């Protein structure tokens, strides 16, 4: 039996007639809480046309933690874009015209099927391994990192079947909120007082992180960047590491968006990552910076097998051939994302292309990357062990040290790309002066 929350009697009666005995109607938040309390296995709640969107949002926010498998549908007298946007942001699974009983029944069936899968998955995954951290990085600005991060998150969430957190580590100029049309109530900067201040050793915990994220759509939450650029100044590398460690316990995937520099925060994210999506566009500065990034990754022992090199706007006609691109990068390209004006159009609408046009060629390319290289079972087990083996965390004691400028543990040229079959069998060298990252500590000088 499904629970319907409908404060207006007339609406309740009409919907009751349409659903028959399948529906248990409640008219207040208290009755709803009591009905749910009596039904610990309930998987679906409908909100009728008389419900306020704020009530729906509050309910969904509470249940997301208490009962992650519970589906919430909103039945409206008329479905308009504003209600749709608010409802999706709140985490409502679908918004349906209350008068279209066929559509309501189909949406209910879809939601129940998803809830059953989620309930099964969470029962099976109790006590299972942590989620995976995927950092999207490019050393040149404007390559499409944020576009990739938000669309990748939507693809990985797979309509709510997986839980994904997008973390905006572009602390000064983060764009995740604007790309998802989210109004940041709480941001990563709000974690600072939770630790007792910038110079305290206090730690955030799961409850704290849950209170910091902003829900976007089923399966996707966002930890947003501060609204004022200077607010990120007190976010320490340790805090980023803590937040990511907690996020990976709460989510199946944590997708990290980054600024176009190797900041301390970015290095903390890279250290915590299972996979790295490294972007470039087909122009020489971006390709050159990707090459430098790959050299840096060699230097910092980030396993080659966990790097996913992505050429964004791959088909843009800008005078470089595929051979030119291969020559500059000298590394295998994992995915090509086509260029399309629909991408900036989707950004300006504040709706990721994958949400709006799931069958668009760019959406398909990102989904294919997500499914075949990130979410696929053979990738699930791969990264952690390698990262553990080569991790520089805790002072980087496990990273082999360079012995001086030009030093190479293997004797191989520093730009040599390691074989994916032998991740970690990498040349080691000195700091790259133009990046400002020290070889020994992975810190900004
Ligand atoms: N595949 C694509 N086709 C067309 N335009 C694209 C594509 N990918 C990204 N863009 C456009 O490129 C611009 C930069 O994208 P985005 O903001 O995601 O890059 P970024 O790497 O996050 O930038 P920044 O370094 O400033 O944070 C945006 O206007 C976006 O619409
Ligand atoms: Mg960006």
Instruction: Count CB-CB contacts under 10 A for residue 156.
Output: 29
Give the mutation target among 135, 143, 144 for probing the ligand 1 site: most ligand atoms within 8 A of CB: 144
Residues paired with 2 in a beta bridge: 23
- CA 264, 269, 275, 276 dihedral sign is negative
> Cα Rg for the chain, rounded, in angstroms?
24
- Weakest-pLDDT range from 24-28, 330-334, 431-435: 431-435
In this predicted structure, what is the pLDDT of residue 379? 46
Ligand number nearest to the C-alpha of 175: 2
153-205: per-residue pLDDT in tens? 999 999 888 999 999 999 999 999 999 999 888 999 999 887 765 444 557 88
**75 C-beta closer than 6 A to ligand 1:** no
CA gap 25, 14 in Å, rounded: 11
pLDDT at 99 over 80: yes
Give the chain's mean pLDDT. Answer: 80
DSSP-based three-state secondary structure for 2: strand
Distance of CA 149 from the midpoint of ligand 2 (Å)? 9
SS3 percent helix, strand, coil of the chain, rounded to 5, is: 45, 15, 40
1-15, 144-158, 200-214, 356-370: which range is least confident on average?
Answer: 200-214
- What is the reported pLDDT for 437? 33
Least confident of 197-201, 345-349, 439-443: 439-443
Mean pLDDT value across residues 66-78: 88
Question: How do residues 258-291 score in pLDDT, each as one tens digit?
Answer: 999 999 999 999 999 999 999 999 999 999 999 9
Map out the domains of the chain with their CATH numbers: 2-125 (3.40.50.2300), 132-396 (3.40.50.300)
Give the Å distances, CA to CA, from 128 to 69, 124, 217, 272. Answer: 17, 8, 24, 18
pLDDT cut 70: percent of the chain above it? 80
Ligand nearest to the CA of 137: 1
- Judged by average pLDDT, the poorest of 133-137, 169-173, 393-397 is 393-397
First-last CA distance in the chain: 62
């Amino acid at each position: 039996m499904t629970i319907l929350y409908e404060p207006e009697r007339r609406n309740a009666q009409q919907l009751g007639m349409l659903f028959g005995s399948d529906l248990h109607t409640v008219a207040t938040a208290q009755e709803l809480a009591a009905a749910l309390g009596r039904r610990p296995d309930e998987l679906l709640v409908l909100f009728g046309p008389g419900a306020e969107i704020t009530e729906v949002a509050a309910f969904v926010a509470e249940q997301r933690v208490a009962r992650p498998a519970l589906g919430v549908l909103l039945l409206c007298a008329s479905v308009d874009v504003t209600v749709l946007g608010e409802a999706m942001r709140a985490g409502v699974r679908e918004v349906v015209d209350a008068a279209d009983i066929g559509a309501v029944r189909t949406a209910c069936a879809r939601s129940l099927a998803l809830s059953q899968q989620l309930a099964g998955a969470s029962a099976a995954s109790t006590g299972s391994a942590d989620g995976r951290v995927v950092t999207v990085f490019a050393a040149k600005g404007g390559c499409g990192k944020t576009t990739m991060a938000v669309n990748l998150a939507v693809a990985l969430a797979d309509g709510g079947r997986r839980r994904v957190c997008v973390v905006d580590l572009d602390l000064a100029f983060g764009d995740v909120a604007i790309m998802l049309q989210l109004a940041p109530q709480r941001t990563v900067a709000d974690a600072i007082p939770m630790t007792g201040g910038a110079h305290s050793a206090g730690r955030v915990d799961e409850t704290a992180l849950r209170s910091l994220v902003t829900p976007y759509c089923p399966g996707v939450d966002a930890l947003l960047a501060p609204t004022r650029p200077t607010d990120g100044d007190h976010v320490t590398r340790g805090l980023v590491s803590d937040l990511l460690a907690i996020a990976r316990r709460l989510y199946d995937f944590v997708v990290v968006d980054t600024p176009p520099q190797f900041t301390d925060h970015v290095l903390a994210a890279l250290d915590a990552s299972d996979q790295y999506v490294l972007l470039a566009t087909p122009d020489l500065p971006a390709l050159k910076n990707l090459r430098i990034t790959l050299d840096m990754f060699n230097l910092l022992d980030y396993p080659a097998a966990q790097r996913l090199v992505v050429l964004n706007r791959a088909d843009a006609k800008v005078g470089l051939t595929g051979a030119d691109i291969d020559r500059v990068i000298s590394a295998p390209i994992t995915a090509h994302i086509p260029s399309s004006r629909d991408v900036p159009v989707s950004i300006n609408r504040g709706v990721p292309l994958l949400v709006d046009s799931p069958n668009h060629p760019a959406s398909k390319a990102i989904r294919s990357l997500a499914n075949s290289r990130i979410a696929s079972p053979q990738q699930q087990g791969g990264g952690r062990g390698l990262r553990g083996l080569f991790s520089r965390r805790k002072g980087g004691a496990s990273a082999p040290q360079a012995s001086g400028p030009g030093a190479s543990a293997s004797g191989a040229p520093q730009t040599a790309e390691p074989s994916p079959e032998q991740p970690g069998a990498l040349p080691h060298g000195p700091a790259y002066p133009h990046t400002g990252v020290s070889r020994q500590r992975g810190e900004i000088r």
